[in-house]
Amino acid sequence: MSASTSVPTIDTLIHSRWIIPVIPEQKVYENCSLAIDKGQIIALLPSVEASARYRPQREVHLNRHLLIPGLINTHTHAAMSLFRGLADDLPLAQWLQEHIWPAERKWVDASFVADGSRLAIAEMIRSGTTTFSDQYFFPEATAEVARDTGMRAELAFPIIDAPTPWSRDAEDALHKGLKLRDDYRTHERIGVVLAPHAPYTVGDETLEKIAIYANELQIAVQMHLHETAGEVQQAEAKTGERPLQRLQRLGLLSPQMLCVHMTEVNDTDLSLLRESGAHVAHCPRSNLKLASGFCPAARLLDAGINVALGTDGAASNNGLDLLAEANTASLLAKALSGDASAMPAHQALASTTINGARALGISDVTGSLEPGKSADLAAIHLGELEQQPLHDPLSQLIYTASGQRVTDVWVAGRQLLRDRGLLTINEAEVIQRARQWRARIAGLPDAEQ
């Protein structure tokens, strides 16, 4: 047999100075390569061996880079990027009721969501995110942008009893959202799940109906929960139950449930989360900026509860950088617990990768660099002055790196970012559309963009 027939041809071979696969845990491989074919990882092996074993159609050399699984943003409101900086330095209730909700009623439509989602997806790709879970109006517009740009996405369609820019009421939202789920039922990168907005915007009757859909159709559920102490106190004063207890009573707490924020957790809450198998989406930077409270991530992780990270929307976070989020989450866990070993670097990275995949129910597809999984990858340049000397690439990733160091991104083997340049999005056009929206919202003529 000739050499040409004995060496298999594959799509891509990526050689990297360092690779952190996340699974196995706390492993850092040096001078190794990922072999990719038909969108999947087929091997992780030493570079010398990889070059001898495979004949790639494309070969990538990342000589000063760290290669990690693509980051997973478990909670955001992508289109709200167009409200970035609109109403800063305000508490949550005032921010929502006096600024964001009125702006949404006036401006949010399918075109707003499409433009805002494209801006957010571009930002997420450039900071290493390959999967995001979005909870916002007109999810069909976000789905279309995600589909066309190559991102992996979960659309958590919002369900609120009152009228919204997208739906007349909860029944209308369910009808539209379930139709969207049918439209994308077989799509390999896009899923659709249920998202009752919050305990104070959705009544028991609607939540019971959502629980039935979730159980019968095996659909995941995402909900803002225990976002502030005030929310929990008002619920207890009104019903005698904490929101988490109410969800348990209504049959919604399960491994399909993603509890977003969870800044207030007592012993009863901890037991309910652990026993139900529900997941938590921790959004530290948004919660800090709105002074909403602190999710006790280290305590939850120690109790065996899966904690993943989300950015929330850029209107309350001002950025969608998950590496910055991991840094904040780790530092916050140490400060809250009084333990410098709380949420170490490897756990912070896991919370942006495999934990996020588990929270979204896609850990068999992505979240780690294992053969058989989708080739969702991010490469981070660690050769700059700010990363020197480099004793530990994992430590440098969490404690010194940021999304601005991400140079290359792949989703399902397709490259979306090369040398910081977007390959599936027209950056100039995205910026121009954002400036037009800014002028419109500010009441300025287009000439004053």
What are the tens digits of pLDDT across the range 58-114?
999 999 999 999 999 999 999 999 999 998 998 888 988 999 989 999 999 999 999
Q: Are 225 and 292 in contact (CB under 8 A)?
A: no
SS3 74: strand
Query: Distance between CA 365 and CA 357 in Å, rounded?
Result: 8
Query: Dihedral, CA atoms, 357, 359, 360, 362, nearest 10 degrees?
Result: 40
Question: What does the longest C-alpha to C-alpha distance in the chain come to?
Answer: 78
Torsion angles phi and psi, residue 423, rounded to 5: -100, -20
Q: Of 199, 273, 281, 271, which is closest to residue 233 (Cα–Cα)?
A: 199
Name, in order, each residue with C-beta under 8 angstroms of 211's C-beta and a sequence gap of 6 or more. Answer: 250, 251, 252
Write the pLDDT tens digit of every residue in 64-76: 999 999 999 999 9
Other residues' Cβ atoms within 10 Å of the Cβ of residue 58: 11
Write out the two tokens for 319: 């950025």
Rg of the chain, C-alpha, whole Å: 22
Torsion angles phi and psi, residue 319, rounded to 5: -155, 160
Query: Distance between CA 154 and CA 129 in Å, rounded?
Result: 13
Residue 208 in this model has a pLDDT that exceeds 50: yes
Other residues' Cβ atoms within 10 Å of the Cβ of residue 2: 6
Residue 259 in this model has a pLDDT that exceeds 90: yes
Query: Distance between CA 348 and CA 327 in Å, rounded?
Result: 7
Q: Which residue segments constitute the domains of the chain, with CATH numbers given?
A: 3-69+375-418 (2.30.40.10), 71-359 (3.20.20.140)
SS3 150: coil
According to DSSP, residue 108 is labeled -
Q: What percent of the chain has pLDDT over 70?
A: 98
Torsion angles phi and psi, residue 29, rounded to 5: -100, 140
Write the pLDDT tens digit of every residue in 296-347: 999 999 999 999 999 999 999 999 999 999 999 999 999 999 999 999 999 9
Residue 209 in this model has a pLDDT that exceeds 80: yes
Per-residue pLDDT at 219 = 96
Query: Distance between CA 386 and CA 187 in Å, rounded?
Result: 41
Length of the chain: 449
Per-residue pLDDT at 446 = 59
Mean pLDDT value of segment 133-160: 98
Q: Are 309 and 333 in contact (CB under 8 A)?
A: no
Q: Of 71, 75, 369, which is closest to residue 220 (Cα–Cα)?
A: 75
Q: Of 121, 128, 116, which is closest to residue 146 (Cα–Cα)?
A: 121
Residue 417 in this model has a pLDDT that exceeds 80: yes
* Dihedral over Cα of 421, 423, 428, 433: its sign: negative
Query: What is the band of 445 on the pLDDT scale with cuts at 50, 70, 90?
Result: confident
Q: What percent of the chain has pLDDT over 90?
A: 94
Query: Distance between CA 411 and CA 298 in Å, rounded?
Result: 30
Neighbouring C-alpha atoms within 13 Å toward the C-beta of 20 = 29
- Is this prediction's pTM over 0.85? yes
Neighbouring C-alpha atoms within 13 Å toward the C-beta of 442 = 18
SS3 332: helix
Neighbouring C-alpha atoms within 13 Å toward the C-beta of 258 = 33
Query: What is the band of 217 on the pLDDT scale with cuts at 50, 70, 90?
Result: very high
Q: Of 206, 198, 135, 194, which is closest to residue 169 (Cα–Cα)?
A: 206
Q: Of 171, 183, 87, which is closest to residue 140 (Cα–Cα)?
A: 183
Per-residue pLDDT at 447 = 44
Name, in order, each residue with C-beta under 8 angstroms of 83's C-beta and a sequence gap of 6 or more. Answer: 100, 103, 313, 314, 315, 441
Residue 9 in this model has a pLDDT that exceeds 80: yes
Residue 2 in this model has a pLDDT that exceeds 70: no
Give the DSSP per-residue string, 262-330. -----HHHHHHHHHHT-EEEE-HHHHHHTT-----HHHHHHTT--EEE----HHHHS---HHHHHHHHH
Residue 3 in this model has a pLDDT that exceeds 50: no
Q: Are 178 and 149 in contact (CB under 8 A)?
A: no
